[in-house]
Amino acid sequence: MTGIILSFAAQAEGKAGRRIVWAGAACGFLLGCALFGVRMWDPKGMNLILMSFNRWVVVAIAAVAALSTLFLLTARRTARRRGSADLLLLSALAALSLMYLTSPVIQFTQEFVYFGESGVSTNVLLRAIGFTLGVALCLLLSLSSFQVHRALNGRGGLLFLFGSVLLFFLEYGVAAVAALQRLKAIPLTDFVFKVMIFGDSHKNAFIFAQLALALVMLAWVVMTHQKPTGEFANKALLRKEKARLRNCRRWSWSLLAWGVAVIFVVVVLHYLDTRPPAEVTPEGYALENGIITIPLEQVSDGHLHKFSYKTPNGYEVRFLVVKKPIGTAYGLGLDACEICGIAGYYERGEEEIVCRRCDVVMNKNTIGFHGGCNPIPFPYEIRESNIFINVKDLEANEKRFR
C-alpha cells in the first residue's frame, strides 16, 4: 500500500506530492522510534500506558483509512487533477501506520539473544540476518508496487489505490473493534465477539488479499504493456517506448517474485518455525512401595528427560529431569509452569529447553526453582546414585494436569 500511495502522489502532485508522503512516513517512523525509546526507558511503568495508546492508534488508523476510502470512492476526476485533500489523508495514514509498526519491529532486535545465551553465536547471527532480510523484503515489495502502479493511467491507478486502502481499512477496522472493546469503549456484544474471533483466526487473510490485488495489478500491466501503440516520429522513439514497456513488465515480474517470497515466509517458514515439536515418549523408571527410583546414569547426559506417573484417579502427571551444566546438581520439575499451565517443555538443539507455549528458553541452572516460566518444582531426594520421588508429591499436583 505504501508503494501505491507514493506512486499516486507522484502522479497527482509530482515532486510536491512525493514530499508530502515521504514527510508523513518519516514523521511516523521517528514517532515509532520515540515510542520504542519510551518503552525501553521505563518498561514496567509505561507498559499499560503504551498498550492503551497503541489501541487508540489502531482506532485512528481505521478512521483515517475509512476517510481515505470514502474520498477515493467519490472521486470523479483523474488522479492528476485532484486536490491535496486525498494526499494529506493518505500521508496521515502512512504516518500512523509506520508509527504503530515501527516500535514492535525494532523490538525484534532485542530478541536476537535469548536469555542465558551467548551474544556471539550462530543463532544470534541467523536471527539478525533474518530480521534484515525481512525488512529488505518489505522495502522491495513496496518499490515494486510503486513501479508497477506508475505504469497505470490515472483512473486505473486510482482503482487499485482504492482497493488497497479499502483492504487496509478492513484489516484495521477489525483490529479497531477489538481495541475499542478492550478499552471498554464499546460493549462485548455477539457481533463484537465474532469480529474479534475473526481477527484472531484470520490474521493473514488481509495480507493475502493485498497480494491478490497486487497480482491483478501486475497482470493488468503485463497484458497492456506488450506492444507499442500509436505512431512514432522515428525509430529511436519507438525503441524508447519498447524499453519502457519492457521495464514495466520486468517490474511486474519483480512484484510477483517478492509477493511469492512473502507468501513463502508467512506460510511455509512461519509454520516450520512455530510448529510444535513432536512429543517425547516418557522414559521408564522403577516404582516400589510408592517410591519412584531413577538412576542418575540414566539422566546424566545433560539432555532433557521426561517421565510420567499415572495417579489413582487416572491423571498423568508429567515431570522432567535434567543435569545442570555447572557442577553435579540436577534440576527436577513438573512438565508445567505457573504461567503457561501444562503446555510443557521441549529440548531445542543441544542446550536449549523451551516452553511450548511462550517459546521462552529456560536457564538449566534455574530448573528446580520457583518463579517465571520455570517447571514447577516438587520434593525429591538424591542418594546412592539414584533420584527418589514419593508418588504422593506427584499426586498432590494432579489437579494441574486435569
- Return d(Cα 353, Cα 374) in angstroms, integer: 10
Residue with cell 503446555: 343
The number of C-alpha atoms within 13 Å of 195 and in the hemisphere containing its C-beta is 20
Per-residue model confidence as pLDDT tens digits over 39-50: 888 888 888 899
Q: What band does 350 get if pLDDT is binned at 50, 70 and 90?
A: low
Mark out the alpha helices in 42-189 (DSSP H runs). 43-73, 85-107, 122-150, 154-182
Burial class (CB in 10 A: 0-12, 13-18, 19+), 105: middle
Tell me which of 274, 301, 334 is where a domain ends.
Answer: 274
- Of 213, 239, 274, which residue constitutes the final position of a domain? 274
CATH code, 378: 2.102.10
Shared domain for 213 and 190, answered yes or no, is yes
Mean pLDDT across 357-373: 77
pTM: 0.70
33: containing domain: 2-274
State the average pLDDT for the chain: 87
Domain boundary among the residues 274, 306, 327 is at 274
Pair 344, 198 in one domain? no
280 in a domain, yes or no? no
pLDDT digits (tens, 9 = 90+) for 155-213: 888 899 999 999 999 999 999 999 999 999 999 899 999 999 998 888 889 999 999 99
Question: Is there a single domain that holds both residue 267 and residue 134?
Answer: yes
What are the grid coordinates assigned to 253, written together? 515480474
User: Best-predicted range by mean pLDDT among 61-65, 115-119, 273-277, 310-314?
Assistant: 61-65
Asked if residue 11 is part of any domain, the answer here is yes
In a domain, 279, yes or no: no
95 inside domain? yes
Sign of CA pseudo-dihedral 92, 198, 189, 181: negative
Total number of domains constituting the chain:
2
Question: What pLDDT shows up at residue 80?
Answer: 43
- What average pLDDT does the segment 43-60 reach? 90
